[in-house]
Amino acid sequence: MYRDHTKVVQIGDKKIGGGNPILIQSMTNTKTEDVKSTVAQILALEAAGCEIVRCTVPSREAAEALGEIKKQIHIPLVADIHFDYRMAVAAMENGADKIRINPGNIGGPEKIKAVVDTAKERNIPIRVGVNSGSLEKELVEKYHGVTAEGLVESALDKVKIIEAFDYDNLVISIKSSDVLMCVKAHELLAERTNYPLHVGITEAGTLYSGNIKSAVGLGIILYQGIGDTIRVSLTGDPVEEIKSAKRILKTLNLRKGGIEVVSCPTCGRTQIDLIGLANQVETMVQEFPLDIKVAVMGCVVNGPGEAKEADIGIAGGKGVGLLIKKGEIIRKVPEAELLGTLRRELENWEK
């Protein structure tokens, strides 16, 4: 497993790398200097299970807001910097727990040195991030286009620039919206470095396509033992990114906890509003910190069988549903009372 052998990097009170649990990140989409909105969004992200949050720092006001934001949140805060090295320095002076830069776009060696010196003084990790969209012209020419090999070379070149200033408190990320290029780049990179990797499919898209691309890409990468922290990027509410990231990790058995809902696809036998019910159940179970499986099945053909595999389940009938626990039918419940009945069962669940 690559991730068992990566370097451990401390970000605020959290650790990534070296076999530590894969942490879930997201990024705010508020104006960072709007402290009230930014804090509200971070608290919502925390409640959903976000473990590290990143805010963009495009201005001095944004950098200065970090201090106030940090006082009101409970997870490490990462500053995202582009172009202006002074923002990186200011973000660290204002309490950023980590910074994300692309050393290729913040200016010459003196500017990079100023950033590294501040990081070194405060022992703040730097994430070196490269994106397929900003791959250097020379590498595009060398590899005849934007390729996984080019991305890896670019990332490792950037790492070397920082290592030359005698600093190795680093995390690397390589992002591409081309899923298979991203997979290949991570495979190549994992062979060549032991810095922890921040994994994500960038510009993945809306909720629908972004979730699919992220699940496929992150799924392949994580399954190979690569990746120490993840972000699912979606064009939407960042809270959705956390839900998806948690589901991806749980599906890969890389994280425990949370109720898993299984539900049938419905068919001509279904005689209750199973689609509506399954959606309501999925939302409802999120508030229960139980590590169990709930089955929501449309009929008694496969219902009881599937529900047997689950800890608790419902199998629909005509306007009614059977409540099933560990394969045993407990009782018949009118359709309108199914959700409430399930909720009460979960409330009284003995852990």
| By CB under 6 A, residue 269 contacts ligand SF4 | yes
Tokens of 296: 């929501």
Q: State the minimum distance, in angstroms, from the CB of residue 260 to ligand SF4.
A: 17
Asked if residue 289 binds ligand SF4 (CB under 6 A), the reply is no
Q: Is 251 in the site for ligand SF4 (CB under 6 A)?
A: no
**125 makes contact with ligand SF4 (CB under 6 A):** no
Q: Are 207 and 236 in contact (CB under 8 A)?
A: yes
Closest listed residue to residue 304, CA positions, set 330, 321, 324 = 324
* Of positions 47, 164, 267, 330, contacts ligand SF4 by CB under 6 A: 267
Least CB distance from residue 147 to ligand SF4, whole Å? 44
Decide whether 104 or 305 has the Cβ nearer to ligand SF4.
305
Q: What are the CA-CA distances from residue 95 to residues 5, 11, 55, 90, 198 (Å)? A: 29, 12, 12, 9, 21
Closest distance to ligand SF4 from the beta carbon of 326 (Å): 18
- CB under 6 A: which stretch of 8-16, 215-223, 282-290, 296-304 binds ligand SF4? 296-304
**With left for phi above 0 and alpha for psi between -120 and 50, is residue 346 left, alpha or beta?**
alpha
176 beta partners: none
The answer to whether the beta carbons of residues 49 and 33 sit under 8 Å apart is no
Is 299 marked as a binding-site residue? yes
The one segment of 36-44, 62-70, 204-212, 265-273 that binds ligand SF4 by CB under 6 A: 265-273
* DSSP letters spanning 142-187: HTTSS-HHHHHHHHHHHHHHHHTTT---EEEEEE-SSHHHHHHHHH
- Is 55 part of any known ligand binding site? no
Q: Is 164 in the site for ligand SF4 (CB under 6 A)?
A: no
And the tokens for 8? Answer: 């451990």
Per CB under 6 A, the list member of 8, 164, 180, 301 interacting with ligand SF4 is: 301
Size of the site for ligand SF4 (CB under 6 A): 12
Instruction: Output the smallest distance, CB 307 to ligand SF4, in A.
Output: 10
Q: Taken in order 160, 161, 163, 164, is the CA torsion positive or negative?
A: positive
Residue 74 lies near ligand SF4 (rule: CB under 6 A):
no
Beta-sheet strands, E only, within 285-326: 293-297, 312-316, 320-325
Judge whether 267 is annotated as a binding position. Answer: yes
276 binds ligand SF4 (CB under 6 A): no
Among 49, 210, 298, 313, binds ligand SF4 (CB under 6 A): 298
Tokens standing for residue 295: 């089955």
Phi/psi-derived region of residue 294, left when phi > 0, alpha when psi is between -120 and 50, beta in every other case: beta
Note the residues at the interface with ligand SF4 (CB under 6 A).
Answer: 264-267, 269-270, 297-299, 301-303
Binding residue positions: 264, 267, 299, 306
Binding residue positions for [4Fe-4S] cluster: 264, 267, 299, 306
